[in-house]
Structure 1
Amino acid sequence: MTKQSEAFMRQMLEFLPSTEASYTESVVFNGEVLETVIIEDVFMPVIIELIRQEENIDLIEQIFEYFEEVSNDEDAHLINIFSITALEILGNEETILRTAQKYMGPRTKELQKEADRALGRKV
């Protein structure tokens, strides 16, 4: 795991403190931080629910502003992990994706479309 990946995990825990116990359980169960597992199973379900409810707009905006920073990071490992987890999951449900796109920055939108194309989804 790179320094940027570690920073990503810490930042997501800051945004989503309710995920702390699940994060810890995942690390203990797997014996290490499995980035894709934690992003997919711990963080993204909470983010998807935030998007679905679209009530805590400030938090959604903060998360997507951070996603834009991540999308513009030079760490290829972080961008790859982010794309194959968070961005692919956002594309799983059309209504979620449409709502999420309202908050995405230009680079995040571009990476999300690339993630969909990689899965063979129509963009």
Structure 2
Amino acid sequence: MNKKTEEFLRKMLDFLPSTDDAYRKSIAFQGEVLETVIIEDIFMPEIIKLLSGERNLNLLESIFNYFEEVSNCEDTQLKNVFSVTVLEILGNDRSILGTAQKYMGTKTIQLQIEADRALGRI
């Protein structure tokens, strides 16, 4: 795992401190940091909950502003992990995706569309 991906995981823990215990348990269980497992199984369910209730709008805005930074970064490994975890999961439910799009920046929307196309959606 590279530095940018480590930074992403730390930032998500900052946004979602309630996930810290599950994050640590995942590492202990797997014997290593499996970023896709952590993002898909720990962080994304929390983000989906926030989106489904549109609760804590400031937090959602902060998370999606950070997602826009990630979408614009030059680190291809991080962008790939981000696309196949965060963006594909957001595309699994059209109503959640519609809510998420209210908070997405231009580049994040573009990457999400590309992630959907890669899966044969749209």
TM over 0.5: yes
Aligned to 1:21: 21
Which whole-Å deviations, capped at 9, do the CAs of 1:29-49 have from their partners, x for residues lacking one?
A: 001100100000000000000
Dislocated runs of 4+, deviation >4 Å: none
Q: How does 1:80-91 map to 2 (within 5 A)?
A: 80-91=80-91
**Length, aligned pairs only:** 122
- Shift of residue 55 of structure 1? 1.7
Aligned to 1:64: 64
User: What TM-score comes out, normalization by structure 2 length?
Assistant: 0.99
Identity of aligned residues (%): 64
Aligned to 2:99: 99
Q: CA RMSD in A?
A: 0.4
Aligned to 2:74: 74
Aligned to 2:3: 3
Where does the alignment leave 5 or more consecutive residues of structure 2 unmatched?
Answer: none
Which whole-Å deviations, capped at 9, do the CAs of 1:47-94 have from their partners, x for residues lacking one?
A: 000000102100000000000000011000000000000000000000
User: What TM-score comes out, normalization by structure 1 length?
Assistant: 0.98
